[in-house]
Structure 1
Amino acid sequence: MGVSTKSIYTWQKLFSKPATYGNIVSVYVGPDKTITALTDDGIEELTDMIRAARITKKTWHEFLDDFVEDTDLAARIKAKSPR
């Protein structure tokens, strides 16, 4: 899944949440390979962003368009009713 910096800034601006850069950690495990993970605070921020995006159908669909690189997957998620 590819996430652009522009998408993150847009969503953080919409939901008045400042950017926090220390919550994504990348570790080099080889000359050309990294493993990237979220810290506990990063998971909490992502959870907050998803919760805020799910307030309306429109914001949820915009969120999916911005963050889900696979358009077929995004369409399948959009077709399901929110729980």
Structure 2
Amino acid sequence: VGFFVCRHIGLLECNIVLMKRLWLILSLLFIFSCEDNDKEDCIDESKITNLPCDDVYDPVCGCDGVTYSNACEAENSGITEWTEGECN
């Protein structure tokens, strides 16, 4: 909202428009930042190991969006949550 528009619609109305735009921008930033945090929070670096796993292919989709060959491989990568099957 430019100065010219604010001058014609009034200061109060202009402030309301600006606040609505600011609220929308902040809401979108919050939503997208939460999506990124979910992926980071699902990896526990203290659980990353190099233990041997069976060579059985029983894919799981890690919470980081990566397909692991089985649950053991996911656990060795520090993944804390997964679902059965390959990631889409």
Give the structure with the larger strand fraction: 1
Larger relative contact order (CA 8 Å, sep ≥ 6): 1
TM normalised by structure 2 equals 0.23
TM normalised by structure 1 equals 0.24
**Larger Rg: 1 or 2?**
2
